Amino acid sequence: MTVTRRQGLMGLAALGASPIALSATPALAQAASRAETLRQITGGAINTLDPTMPGTTRESFGLSMNVYDRLVAFGRKQVNGNWVFDNTEIRGELAERFEISADGLTITLHLRPGALWHDGTPVTAEDVKWSLDRHVSAKSLAVSQFQTGSLTSTEQFRVAGPGVVVVTLDKPDRLALSNLAVTYAIMINSTLAKKHATDDDPWAQKWMQTNTAAGGAYKVESFRPGVQAVLTRNEDWKNGPLPFFRRVISQTVPEAATRANLIEKGDADIAIDLQTSDIASLESRGQVKVASIPQTNGFTHISFNTRMAPFDNPKVRQAIAAALPYDDMFKASLFGRGRKLYGGDWTTPPGIDFPQPMPVKQDLDKARALLAEAGMAGGFATTFSFGASTAATAEPVAALVQEALGRIGIKVEIQKLPDAQLNTLQAEKKLAFYTDSGTAWLPATYYFFFLYFTRDQRWNFASWENPRIAELANAARFERDPAAYEAQCREMITILADQMPLLMLWQPNMDAVMGKAIEGFTYQFYRQVDFRDLKRA
């Protein structure tokens, strides 16, 4: 060592004196492809390339729709000038066409001739059979989803010749075909996947978390879990119109304010999870385009634990329903950006769509009377909980609930819980009174009731047991007569409106904020961006 301490110090001082210029880097080399590149920024992160893995984030669902094909896909329709998915119109994706037998027990799928996997090998009926077998056999989220379509055993899937797969059902399940279109129902290049299968892991689940065996519209160019994923267009894709964007970057930017800045400056193209409070000001400055679409397959609710006193008494639930200031909550929580699910005016439901506005409104006298009828005129004390990640929208609701119920003598303590803790308490049925939200991928009325209002399971938010609802939901599932199905749905909605195990509040808007030149955004059932829909004008 010849450098003395003094020289070292002088060196440091010299370093400090040299200015480091602060300026934007010119990206000349990339400029040519920028117009054909879509940059999406998200608050959450993509954590797996296999959407059936437990713990898959919603962002990963979105990625998988672009990378993997399913046998069939939902169509889309225009509602109030915005595109929204349409689960009543099912079209072929990897399957060119399909037929359903008259008794509804057999679905025959004809694969698209000439369809290729990303590695260039042809798609075969055996690949499809292997993929379907995986979804009912491997330990994954697909198993329980497929059960809702009565798809439970590998024996139900049969190769019936080159490019033909037959699915057979024991009962004519209303949602069997729809289940082949959901996010989990990915079609996998089985030859490739099997190479990476092991004795412990016969379905190559470990390998597929960070690799793909797909054939969809986009290929994964690079993937860094929790940071970003880069996709390139699959030029040989034949299962739909070739997407506009050649390259897609999906990047995680955790800070909402930074996401808003990036979109407004035009450095990023689309974001769907900005803060509601930012969106109005972004809109007013006019640098961006906002598509506000009610999340038609979701709902925000206030749930009672119907197994826990005093909420086991329907009168108490009805009293609270009559005490809440719905309009104030809607404005404070969402700035009115959504569709109301309260304030309906009916005794028999006007339609069988669900969720629909339920007949509740604020009426304090009625609330006090009902509370007195329940023998609790003096009120009681309870806690109202919500998850920390929903605090921006749930906190105003909680404050208003506390204030309104105070006026009829119910003392409410507000409890904000970390999400993992809320979920655990929810699954253990230990929450008394709380707000949360739910989404059904397949927005059929019976499916909502089956998922959210029957059985002893986590998604039965109110832990509600109503034998008639269980009976109706199970009957509606296999009902072939449209008139009978309609009557069953109507009765379920009527019972719900009367018993009030939970209070439907609203469907929040999905606010997709994008550059002015981006067109074609579609609200999808999995609440993510389908890059295939988008183009730059």
Residues in region 264-303 near other proteins by CB under 8 A: 264-265, 267-268
- Stretch in the footprint of other proteins (CB under 8 A) among 67-75, 142-150, 335-343, 397-405: 142-150
Binding-site member from 180, 440, 503, 518 for other proteins (CB under 8 A): 440
Binding-site member from 2, 3, 19, 20 for other proteins (CB under 8 A): 20
Given a contact cutoff of 8 angstroms between Cβ atoms, the answer to whether 537 and 71 are in contact is: no
First to last CA, the chain: 63
Indicate the residue among 34 and 407 with the shorter CB distance to other proteins.
34
Binding-site member from 74, 441, 453, 506 for other proteins (CB under 8 A): 441
370 near other proteins (CB under 8 A): no
23 near other proteins (CB under 8 A): yes
Given a contact cutoff of 8 angstroms between Cβ atoms, the answer to whether 37 and 249 are in contact is: yes
DSSP secondary structure code for residue 122 in this structure: B
Measured CA to CA, the distance from residue 192 to residue 68 in angstroms comes to: 14
Q: Which of 344, 329, 328 is nearest to 496 (CA)?
A: 344
Binding-site member from 106, 439, 474, 494 for other proteins (CB under 8 A): 439
CB of 427 to other proteins, least distance (A): 5
DSSP secondary structure code for residue 268 in this structure: S
Query: Contacts with other proteins in 205-264 (CB under 8 A)?
Result: 209-210, 224-228, 249, 251-255, 257-258, 261-262, 264
47 near other proteins (CB under 8 A): yes
114 near other proteins (CB under 8 A): no
- Using DSSP bridges, classify how beta strands 218-224 and 247-252 pair: parallel, antiparallel or unpaired: unpaired
Given a contact cutoff of 8 angstroms between Cβ atoms, the answer to whether 304 and 72 are in contact is: no
2 near other proteins (CB under 8 A): no
Size (the chain), residues = 537
474 near other proteins (CB under 8 A): no
Query: Is it true that the peptide bond before 355 is cis, omega within 30 degrees of 0?
Result: yes
Measured CA to CA, the distance from residue 153 to residue 433 in angstroms comes to: 39
Structural tokens at position 52:
């059936």
35 near other proteins (CB under 8 A): no
Q: Which residues pair with 396 in a beta bridge?
A: none
Indicate the residue among 121 and 152 with the shorter CB distance to other proteins.
152
CB of 240 to other proteins, least distance (A): 25
Indicate the residue among 209 and 494 with the shorter CB distance to other proteins.
209
DSSP string, 148-177: TTT---GGGEEE-STTEEEEE-SS--TTHH
CA distances (Å), 150 to each of 65, 69, 180, 233, 490, in order?
23, 21, 11, 35, 24
147 near other proteins (CB under 8 A): yes
Indicate the residue among 4 and 347 with the shorter CB distance to other proteins.
4
48 near other proteins (CB under 8 A): yes
Binding-site member from 95, 123, 141, 166 for other proteins (CB under 8 A): 141
Binding string to other proteins for residues 54 to 93, with x set by CB under 8 A, is what? xxx-------------------------------------
Binding-site member from 2, 3, 19, 22 for other proteins (CB under 8 A): 22
Indicate the residue among 20 and 483 with the shorter CB distance to other proteins.
20
Indicate the residue among 377 and 420 with the shorter CB distance to other proteins.
420
Residue written as token pair 């009731």: 449
Residue 161, classified by CB atoms within 10 Å of its CB into exposed (0-12), middle (13-18) or buried (19+), is exposed
Q: Name the amino acid, one letter, at 105.
A: L
3 near other proteins (CB under 8 A): no
CB of 394 to other proteins, least distance (A): 16
Given a contact cutoff of 8 angstroms between Cβ atoms, the answer to whether 214 and 232 are in contact is: no
174 near other proteins (CB under 8 A): no
Structural tokens at position 106:
């057999």
Indicate the residue among 330 and 525 with the shorter CB distance to other proteins.
525
CB of 278 to other proteins, least distance (A): 12
Indicate the residue among 235 and 255 with the shorter CB distance to other proteins.
255
437 near other proteins (CB under 8 A): no
Measured CA to CA, the distance from residue 352 to residue 350 in angstroms comes to: 7
- Stretch in the footprint of other proteins (CB under 8 A) among 15-23, 286-294, 329-337, 489-497: 15-23
Indicate the residue among 237 and 450 with the shorter CB distance to other proteins.
450
Q: How many residues bind other proteins (CB under 8 A)?
A: 71
Q: Which residues pair with 251 in a beta bridge?
A: 41, 228
Given a contact cutoff of 8 angstroms between Cβ atoms, the answer to whether 342 and 358 are in contact is: yes
**What residues contact 209, with CB distance under 8 A and at least 6 apart?**
48, 49, 50, 53
- Stretch in the footprint of other proteins (CB under 8 A) among 73-81, 320-328, 358-366, 457-465: 457-465
Indicate the residue among 231 and 400 with the shorter CB distance to other proteins.
231
Residue written as token pair 């016969």: 202
Query: Contacts with other proteins in 303-362 (CB under 8 A)?
Result: none
394 near other proteins (CB under 8 A): no
DSSP string, 60-116: HHHHHHHHS--SEEEEEEEETTEEEEEEEEEEESSEEEEEE-TTS-EEEEEEPTT-B
CB of 244 to other proteins, least distance (A): 18
532 near other proteins (CB under 8 A): no
Binding-site member from 77, 97, 139, 195 for other proteins (CB under 8 A): 139
| Phi, psi values for residue 532, rounded to 5° | -70, -25
Structural tokens at position 429:
């049925």
CB of 443 to other proteins, least distance (A): 12
Query: Is it true that the peptide bond before 501 is cis, omega within 30 degrees of 0?
Result: no
